[in-house]
Chain A
Amino acid sequence: MDPLALTLIELGAVVFCLGLLARLAGRTGMSPIPLYLVGGLFFGAGGMVKLEGMHEFAHLSSEIGVILLLLMLGLEYTAAELVTGLRRSWQAGVLDLLLNFLPGAGLALLLGWGFVGAMVMGGVTYISSSGIAAKVITDLGRIGNRETPVILSILVFEDLAMAVYLPILTATLAGVSFLVGLQTVGISLAVVTLVLLVALRHGHHVSKAVHSENSEVFLLNLLGAALLVAGLAAAMQVSAAVGAFMLGIAISGATAHNATRILEPLRDLFAAIFFVVFGLNTDPTSIPPVLGWALVLAVLTAATKMVTGIWAAKRAGIAVPGRFRAGAALIARGEFSIVIAGLAVASGAVPHDLAALATAYVLIMAIMGPLAARFVEPIVGMLRRPARRAPLPFRPAG
Chain B
Amino acid sequence: MNVDETDLPGLGRRKDFMTASGRRIGVVEYREGQTELIVSTWDDPDTCQASIPLTADEAAALGNLLGGQRLAMQLSEAHREVPGIVTRQFSIAADSPFQNQPMGKACIRTRSGASIVAIMREGEVLPSPGPDVVLHPGDLLVAVGTQEGLDTAAGILRNG
- Chain A interfacial positions (CB closer than 8 Å to B): 76-77, 81, 84-85, 130, 134, 141-149, 152-153, 155-156, 257, 318-319, 321-322, 325, 377, 391-392, 394-398
A397 with B20: in contact, given A144-B36, A391-B43 (CB under 8 Å)?
yes
**Is the Cβ of B44 less than 8 Å from the Cβ of A319?**
yes
In angstroms, how far is the closest chain B Cβ from the Cβ of A359? 28
Q: How many angstroms from the CA of A322 to the CA of B47 in the assembled complex?
A: 7
A143 with B51: in contact, given A321-B46, A398-B20 (CB under 8 Å)?
yes
**Is the Cβ of A321 less than 8 Å from the Cβ of B14?**
no
Interface centre among A81, A85, A143 (most CB of B within 10 A): A143
Interface centre among B11, B20, B44, B46 (most CB of A within 10 A): B46
A149 with B7: in contact, given A325-B47, A392-B42 (CB under 8 Å)?
yes
Residues of B within 8 A of A395 (CB): 21
CB-defined A-B contacts under 8 Å, sample of 25: A77-B9, A77-B10, A81-B9, A81-B10, A85-B9, A141-B48, A141-B50, A142-B47, A143-B38, A143-B51, A144-B28, A145-B46, A145-B47, A148-B8, A152-B8, A153-B9, A156-B10, A318-B46, A319-B45, A325-B46, A391-B42, A394-B42, A395-B21, A396-B21, A397-B21
**Is the Cβ of B44 less than 8 Å from the Cβ of A321?**
yes
Query: Is the C-beta of B26 less than 8 angstroms from some C-beta in chain A?
Result: yes
Q: How many angstroms from the CA of A77 to the CA of B10 in the assembled complex?
A: 5
Chain B's closest residue to A323 (CB) is B46
Q: How many angstroms from the CA of A358 to the CA of B45 in the assembled complex?
A: 39
A322 with B21: in contact, given A134-B10, A257-B32 (CB under 8 Å)?
no
**Is the Cβ of B48 less than 8 Å from the Cβ of A145?**
yes
Inter-chain pairs besides A143-B14, A146-B47, A152-B11, 11 sampled, C-beta below 8 Å: A77-B10, A142-B48, A143-B11, A144-B38, A145-B47, A148-B8, A319-B45, A319-B46, A321-B44, A391-B43, A392-B42
Interface centre among B24, B36, B44, B47 (most CB of A within 10 A): B47
Chain A's closest residue to B30 (CB) is A143
A152 with B9: in contact, given A145-B46, A146-B46 (CB under 8 Å)?
yes
In angstroms, how far is the closest chain B Cβ from the Cβ of A109? 34
Complex interface residues of chain B between 26 and 69 (CB less than 8 A to chain A)? 26, 28, 31-32, 36, 38, 40, 42-48, 50-51
Query: Is the C-beta of B147 less than 8 angstroms from some C-beta in chain A?
Result: no
In angstroms, how far is the closest chain A Cβ from the Cβ of B121? 26
**Is the Cβ of A149 less than 8 Å from the Cβ of B6?**
yes
Query: Is the C-beta of B22 less than 8 angstroms from some C-beta in chain A?
Result: yes
**Is the Cβ of B45 less than 8 Å from the Cβ of A84?**
no
Residues of B within 8 A of A396 (CB): 20-21
Residues of A within 8 A of B21 (CB): 394-397
Q: How many angstroms from the CA of A143 to the CA of B31 in the assembled complex?
A: 13
Residues of A within 8 A of B28 (CB): 143-144
Chain B's closest residue to A326 (CB) is B46
Chain B's closest residue to A153 (CB) is B9
Interface centre among A145, A257, A321, A392 (most CB of B within 10 A): A145
**Is the Cβ of B43 less than 8 Å from the Cβ of A392?**
yes
Q: How many angstroms from the CA of A391 to the CA of B51 in the assembled complex?
A: 20
Q: How many angstroms from the CA of A397 to the CA of B21 in the assembled complex?
A: 5
10 nearest interchain CB pairs? A144-B38, A322-B46, A146-B46, A81-B9, A144-B48, A396-B21, A152-B9, A76-B10, A397-B20, A156-B9
Q: How many angstroms from the CA of A77 to the CA of B48 in the assembled complex?
A: 24
Interface centre among B14, B26, B44, B45 (most CB of A within 10 A): B44
In angstroms, how far is the closest chain B Cβ from the Cβ of A28? 23
In angstroms, how far is the closest chain B Cβ from the Cβ of A63? 25
Chain B's closest residue to A143 (CB) is B28
Chain B's closest residue to A75 (CB) is B10
Residues of A within 8 A of B50 (CB): 141
Chain A's closest residue to B26 (CB) is A144
**Is the Cβ of A143 less than 8 Å from the Cβ of B47?**
no
Q: How many angstroms from the CA of A146 to the CA of B21 in the assembled complex?
A: 18
In angstroms, how far is the closest chain A Cβ from the Cβ of B34? 11
Residues of A within 8 A of B16 (CB): 144
- In-complex Cβ contact of B44 among A77, A141, A156, A322 (8 A): A322
In angstroms, how far is the closest chain A Cβ from the Cβ of B40? 8
Residues of A within 8 A of B44 (CB): 319, 321-322
Residues of A within 8 A of B36 (CB): 143-144
Chain B's closest residue to A254 (CB) is B31
- In-complex Cβ contact of B7 among A84, A143, A145 (8 A): A84
Residues of A within 8 A of B45 (CB): 146, 319
In angstroms, how far is the closest chain B Cβ from the Cβ of A368? 22
Residues of A within 8 A of B42 (CB): 391-392, 394
Q: How many angstroms from the CA of A392 to the CA of B22 in the assembled complex?
A: 13
Residues of B within 8 A of A325 (CB): 46-47
Q: How many angstroms from the CA of A152 to the CA of B14 in the assembled complex?
A: 13
Q: How many angstroms from the CA of A252 to the CA of B14 in the assembled complex?
A: 21
Chain A's closest residue to B44 (CB) is A321
Residues of B within 8 A of A391 (CB): 42-43
Residues of B within 8 A of A153 (CB): 9
Q: How many angstroms from the CA of A319 to the CA of B50 in the assembled complex?
A: 19
